[in-house]
């Protein structure tokens, strides 16, 4: 079972439905007890950093996310879910993130329309950490796949980056540390490439139906 964390913010069901479409046993969970024994965890998110972090903590599901990362259970964070992995965000100064990744989420550069609301092409990078030269999440997608983005903020570059996109400069699009993956784009809104990525994640969780 893949636990999709439902902490009451935005349409979290779309990620769960996309996982089911690729054959995964993905279910929405609203409390930590429902996530016990999960083979994988997904942290989606839309909206503002501070409000999402507040709702995640209030639900108790922040502990599920932290536990998955610490125990190297396959873990995928999407959009604002990815931003919540970091220590802080310029969007809501003073609100602490999960701190699973070092750094701050920053406003997109001057001179571009915010939010970035478009398809954009990834450029894969080789992480300098222990994840190796290629990303398991992006396997089989080729060097320049297209994905759909909706965001005004993005993490600052760090050693765990496995893909970027060009939007007024190099913007972090995906990160990977062990079996913790995160995407700034929305795979569930990204057609065949997005489904391929979600299938990669489901396989990492132990297979698909």
Which are the contacts of 133, defined by CB distance < 8 A and separation ≥ 6?
A: 126, 127
Of 72, 138, 82, residue with least CA distance to 105: 82
Peptide bond into 115 cis (omega under 30): yes
For residues 37 and 133, the model is more confident at 37
Does 186 participate in catalysis according to the annotation? Answer: yes
User: Domains in the chain, ordered, with CATH?
Assistant: 2-204 (3.40.50.880)
Marked catalytic residue, from 52, 91, 106, 188: 188
Marked catalytic residue, from 79, 106, 165, 205: 79
Q: Say if residues 208 and 201 touch (Cβ distance below 8 Å).
A: no
Which of the residue ranges 9-23, 65-79, 174-188 would you say has the lowest mean pLDDT?
A: 9-23
pLDDT band at 37 (very low <50, low <70, confident <90, very high): very high
Of 18, 157, 147, residue with least CA distance to 79: 147
How many beta carbons lie within 10 A of that of residue 24, not counting itself? 26
Marked catalytic residue, from 165, 186, 196, 205: 186
pLDDT score for 142? 87
In this predicted structure, the answer to whether residue 148 has a pLDDT above a threshold of 70 is yes
User: How many Å apart are CA 129 and CA 152, to the nearest integer?
Assistant: 27
In this predicted structure, the answer to whether residue 167 has a pLDDT above a threshold of 90 is yes
Does 196 participate in catalysis according to the annotation? Answer: no
In this structure, what are the phi and psi dihedrals at residue 51, rounded to the nearest 5 degrees? -65, -40
Does the pTM exceed 0.85?
A: yes
Does 188 participate in catalysis according to the annotation? Answer: yes
pLDDT band at 90 (very low <50, low <70, confident <90, very high): very high
pLDDT band at 126 (very low <50, low <70, confident <90, very high): low
């Amino acid at each position: 079972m893949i636990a999709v964390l439902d902490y009451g913010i935005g349409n979290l069901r779309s990620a769960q439905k996309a996982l089911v479409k690729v054959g995964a046993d993905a279910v929405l969970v609203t409390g930590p007890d429902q996530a016990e024994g999960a083979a994988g965890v997904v942290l989606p998110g839309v909206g503002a950093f501070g409000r999402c972090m507040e709702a995640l903590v209030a639900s108790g599901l922040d502990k599920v996310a932290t536990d998955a990362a610490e125990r190297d259970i396959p873990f995928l964070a999407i959009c604002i879910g990815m931003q919540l992995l970091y220590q802080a965000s310029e969007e809501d100064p003073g609100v602490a993130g999960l701190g699973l990744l070092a750094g701050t989420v920053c406003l997109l550069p001057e001179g571009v329309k915010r939010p970035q609301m478009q398809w954009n092409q990834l450029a894969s990078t080789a992480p300098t950490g222990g994840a190796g030269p290629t990303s398991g999440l992006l396997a089989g997608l080729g060097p320049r796949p297209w994905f759909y983005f909706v965001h005004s903020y993005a993490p600052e570059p760090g050693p765990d980056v496995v893909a970027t996109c060009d939007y007024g400069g190099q913007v972090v699009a995906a990160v990977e540390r062990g079996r913790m993956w995160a995407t700034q784009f929305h795979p569930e809104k990204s057609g065949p490439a997005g489904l391929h990525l979600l299938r990669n994640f489901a396989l990492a969780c132990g297979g698909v139906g």
